Homo-oligomer: A and B are copies of this chain.
Amino acid sequence: MCDGAADRCRLTTASKLEAVAIETELVKEYRFGKQQLMEIWGHACAIGIVKAFPLTSLGKRQPTVLVVCGPEQNGCIGLVCARHLRMFEYAPTIFYPKRSPSPLHQDSMVQCERMDIPFLSYLPTEVQLINGAYNLVVDAIVGPEMDPADLKEPYTGILLTLKQVKIPIASLDLPSGWEVEGDNTDGINPDVLISLMAPKKCAAGFSGKHFLAGRFLPFDIQRKYELNLPECSGTDCLVEL
């Protein structure tokens, strides 16, 4: 863990353009594959969730986790995260209402299905059912790649439901519905945020438990974008800010 407020201030946050530029550079210049990035990020997110919600801390009899996956990249990271949570002895259930036809998503989905991770056919609108069944919700609906104004049903309805749940929410990369650079007081209010590569600008005001999974980033990229990432210890792939 870094030294709290002081380090947090020195930490660079990324604009939407910077977030896109870093990922493009990783893929084009460093030849990282999308599948490889999904694996690195989904794995790191699962580890962040274990750190924030250890098995022994869960209130319910079963270590249930609801993972809500969107149609784009953030959703695919959610699928990979769910698979790793299963390996870490959690009991994830996935809600993935619009299945992307991309092989990346399809393969990740098959991996989850073949590992007997159940998929919900619909999300209960009665939030008591969600509060009662799960220990927490993983929000993998949308990342910085999409403008929240472009969000449509069923995701706008899902976000309304998530704003009412009483169990903790852990958001991957960005709380879904938040604008990367905006004021998001009206959005969902996650307890945990796992930023990928660099915290986005909107995360500067986030007051929950905040992890950063950026260790895999080549040092030249860290320098070029002045990311000023705090050091991870040992072989950890993420650090608590």
Instruction: Spell out A's residues near B (CB within 8 Å).
Output: 29-33, 35-36, 38-40, 46-47, 50, 84, 87-88, 106-107, 110-111, 114-116, 215-216, 218-220, 234-235
Contacts and interface: CB of A to CB of B under 8 A. Distances in A.
Contact of A30 (B40, B47, B114, B235): B114
Contacts of A220: 114-116
A214 B9 CA distance: 40
For the complex of A and B, the 4 pairs showing the least CB-CB separation, nearest first, are A31-B107, A31-B110, A33-B35, A35-B35
A89 to B, nearest CB: 9
A234 B215 CA distance: 20
Contacts of A87: 215-216
23 contacts: A29-B114, A30-B111, A30-B114, A30-B115, A31-B107, A31-B110, A31-B111, A31-B114, A32-B107, A33-B35, A33-B107, A36-B38, A36-B39, A39-B40, A46-B235, A47-B235, A50-B234, A84-B216, A87-B215, A87-B216, A88-B235, A111-B218, A115-B218
